[in-house]
Amino acid sequence: MTDAIDTAEEPGFAGFAPAPAPSAPAAPYRVLARKYRPAHFGDLIGQDAMVRTLTNAFASGRIPQAWMLTGVRGVGKTTTARILARALNFQTADGGGAPTTELRDFGIHCLDIIEGRHIDVMEIDAASNNGVDNVRQINDAVRYAPVSARYKVYIIDEVHMMTTQAFNALLKTLEEPPPHAKFIFATTEIGKVPITVLSRCQRFDLRRVEAGVLVSHLSNLCRTEAVEAEPEALAAIARAAEGSVRDSLSILDQAIAHAAGAITLEDVRAMLGLADRARIIDLFESVMKGEIAAALGELRAQYDAGADPAVVLGDLAEFTHLVTRLKLVPEAARDDALSQAERVRGGDFAERLSVRVLARSWQMLLKGIAEVKQADRPIMAAEMVLVRLAHAADLPTPDEALKLLRDGGGAVPASPGGGSAPRPPAGGGNTALAARPVLASANPLPQAQAQAAPLVQLASLEDVVALASQNRDITLKLALERDVRPVRFEPGRIEFSLTPGAPRHLATDLSRKLKDWTGQTWMVAVVTAEGGATLREQAEALKGRRESDAASHPAVRAVLERFPGARIVDVRDPRAAAPEPAPGVEAEDAYLSDGEPLFDDSEPDFDGIDF
């Protein structure tokens, strides 16, 4: 008891057991992107061309005074800059060593340089140090020799954010730096760097890392970290990273935390809001078959499962691109980043779809993705994009449309069931999957009505202009008069060349309008042959001849001489403008109602002279 009382009286105990001694603080967690940051050129992946060039340059002693590293985010620009600084300042503990790219062993400066804390290797962020005063400090400090390393190295990141004045202040030092100074610039926007700076640097474009290389890299890291991951999950991460190593490691870090165990494709898809790749292929097939109801149902199901509509369309565009690549480059199927479904079903689509159909789908998807991103209700915009795509599957390609018109066929109709009717393959795979039969008209008239419908007879381009005027299509009328040089005109076929600046879609618009106005199919083609004069040129030439003839008339000439400054502004033919005389009355004997003769050739008409 005494011992207990004595113990209780000791300060800090108060009758309780002693507190345990504090343990050493656990090391802070380092994200994978920092933990596995390359420390030498052998660790860099996907940049073999740059590594080979630098290795040869260091081996031959041809080391420039400045480098410019450019590329997208996360491909290793800053890391490469640090490795370059380490290669320039490599030195062993005994004081030996020289600039080298063989950096497997660490020298006395290497660790500090890699960790960004060496006194002679200055890393400068141009986003916050972009003014003339900052460059003036560099120019003043660069003259002094390094403290402990061989070279004083300036690494300027995001150099494109420097002002024009700052660039100009750096030019002289950059062109003729002291022998102990080197500059390494990094930028994601090389187009904003002045050419005067680029011409003083040796430039390296760091490439996006291919998906297959990224998958292999991520697989090795997972083995090192003792993390299980499905190959399909790593492939999805590589695709989402878009060639950025840092992005892929960040996503992998997030996937490890999300899965809390083995990383599956479902984990990655749920984490990133990606659509199921197999379901994207199903959606592609429904769209290419023109099955609108099935396509909309699949899109809505993916949306309900958490997929972003813009991401779904982006994946659809990516698969369209993949099918196009497989069609043109079959060896692309060997890509390790592709799933089995993409290889097998993508190859099948590549055999059945034409490049024209795929290119048309690609263009529509690119436009549709932008619409979805800007829409207040993205799912509705995405559904409308799929409706356009599915209906476009019904349409022939331009060469097929021309062939149909030459063969006397008509338009390809939409199916009465909203585009979900199956279609047999047509054209040996040159249309969308299972193309619908080509009918004579989308809405054929009853036979009796078609026989009773009057046909408009057109014999010349002037008749077409008159028909456009009759239908109040002033834009087409003016284009036909101003921009068309006729080459060939016959019933059902018009060939012409265009003047510079003519509307690009004039032939298509004219063919469609003639179909609507005449009920007949017209082949309208723009040819390279030199056509005749346009209708406007013909009218101006006729007007010039009339004015010349009028000016030579004695009475008109006398008026022009009598009134200096007078000019002829118009010449009219009274006979052309006069009404037809009554039956039985000769034109020469026609009179006005007040008894004046209608035509009198004795005196010239001066109404067209401007005084």
CATH number at 63 reads 3.40.50.300
For residue 74, being part of any structural domain is answered with: yes
Mean pLDDT, residues 490-497? 85
Residue at a domain's end among 532, 560, 594: 532
Q: How many CB atoms lie within 10 A of CB 380?
A: 12
Is the same domain home to 75 and 169? yes
pLDDT > 70? residue 166: yes
List % helix, strand, coil for the chain (3-state, nearest 5).
50, 10, 40
The domain spanning residue 492 has which CATH number? 3.30.300
d(CA 270, CA 265): 9
User: CA 451, 456, 460: angle at the middle one, nearest 5?
Assistant: 150
pLDDT > 60? residue 444: no
What is the model's pLDDT at position 530?
A: 78
Higher per-residue confidence, 496 vs 608: 496
The domain spanning residue 433 has which CATH number? 1.20.272.10
Q: Which of 4-13, 442-451, 550-559, 587-596 has the highest mean pLDDT?
A: 550-559
Is the same domain home to 418 and 528? no
d(CA 356, CA 350): 12
Q: What is the DSSP string of 507-523?
A: HHHHHHHHHHHHSS--E
For strand 152-157 and strand 484-490, is the pairing parallel, antiparallel, or unpaired? unpaired
d(CA 568, CA 24): 107
pLDDT > 70? residue 471: yes
Is the same domain home to 493 and 575? no
Is the same domain home to 398 and 280? yes
What is the model's pLDDT at position 521?
A: 82
The neighbouring-strand residues paired with 494 are: 489, 524
Is the same domain home to 355 and 342? yes
For residue 216, being part of any structural domain is answered with: no
What is the model's pLDDT at position 587?
A: 41
Higher per-residue confidence, 326 vs 239: 326
pLDDT > 60? residue 591: no
Query: In 3-state terms, what secondary structure has residue 204?
Result: strand
Contact 433, 352 (CB under 8 A): yes
What is the model's pLDDT at position 195?
A: 93
Is the same domain home to 483 and 434? no
For residue 24, being part of any structural domain is answered with: no
For residue 427, CA distances in Å to 297, 360, 395 come to 29, 17, 13
What is the model's pLDDT at position 411?
A: 46
Alpha helices per DSSP H over 91-210: 110-114, 132-141, 164-175, 195-198
Higher per-residue confidence, 121 vs 526: 121
d(CA 298, CA 282): 8
Report pLDDT digits (tens) over 148-165: 999 999 999 999 999 999
d(CA 79, CA 71): 12
User: CA 418, 422, 423: angle at the middle one, nearest 5?
Assistant: 115
d(CA 132, CA 338): 50
Query: In 3-state terms, what secondary structure has residue 319?
Result: helix
Is the same domain home to 105 and 155? yes
For residue 266, being part of any structural domain is answered with: no
Residue at a domain's end among 181, 205, 229: 205
Higher per-residue confidence, 573 vs 204: 204
What is the model's pLDDT at position 542?
A: 83
Report pLDDT digits (tens) over 169-221: 999 999 899 999 999 999 999 999 999 999 999 999 998 888 888 999 999 99
Q: Which of 181-185, 289-293, 356-360, 503-507 has the highest mean pLDDT?
A: 181-185
Report pLDDT digits (tens) over 382-405: 999 999 998 887 676 666 667 767
Contact 443, 411 (CB under 8 A): no
Is the same domain home to 383 and 304? yes
d(CA 500, CA 118): 65
Q: Which residues contact 111 (CB under 8 A, 6 or more apart)?
A: none
Which residue has 């790593």 as its token pair?
Answer: 234
- Determine which of 78-92, 313-327, 486-500 has the lowest per-residue pLDDT on average: 486-500
Q: How many CB atoms lie within 10 A of CB 309?
A: 26
Higher per-residue confidence, 426 vs 23: 23
Is the same domain home to 425 and 542? no
For residue 522, CA distances in Å to 440, 466, 526 come to 13, 17, 13
Domain carrying residue 84: 32-205
Is the same domain home to 390 and 436? yes
Q: Give percent above pLDDT 90 in the chain.
A: 30
For residue 455, being part of any structural domain is answered with: no
Q: How many structural domains are present in the chain?
A: 4
- Determine which of 18-32, 47-61, 252-266, 597-611 has the lowest per-residue pLDDT on average: 597-611
Query: In 3-state terms, what secondary structure has residue 280?
Result: helix
Is the same domain home to 311 and 337? yes
For residue 264, being part of any structural domain is answered with: no
d(CA 28, CA 16): 33
What is the model's pLDDT at position 390?
A: 87
Q: Which residues contact 416 (CB under 8 A, 6 or more apart)?
A: none
Mean pLDDT, residues 334-352? 81
**Burial group, residue 96, by CB count within 10 angstroms (0-12, 13-18, 19+):** exposed
Report pLDDT digits (tens) over 56-109: 999 998 999 999 999 988 898 999 999 999 999 999 888 788 898 888 888 899
Mean pLDDT, residues 253-277? 81
Q: Which of 21-35, 307-321, 457-471 has the highest mean pLDDT?
A: 307-321
Mean pLDDT score of the chain? 79
pLDDT > 80? residue 495: yes
Which residue has 């369209």 as its token pair?
Answer: 320
- Determine which of 29-38, 256-265, 421-430, 489-498 has the lowest per-residue pLDDT on average: 421-430
Is the same domain home to 514 and 550? no
pLDDT > 50? residue 241: yes
pLDDT > 60? residue 577: no
What is the model's pLDDT at position 424?
A: 40
Mean pLDDT, residues 585-592? 39
Contact 323, 427 (CB under 8 A): no
pLDDT > 50? residue 16: no
Residue at a domain's end among 189, 205, 221: 205
Question: What pTM, to 2 d.p., does this model score?
Answer: 0.55
d(CA 105, CA 62): 23
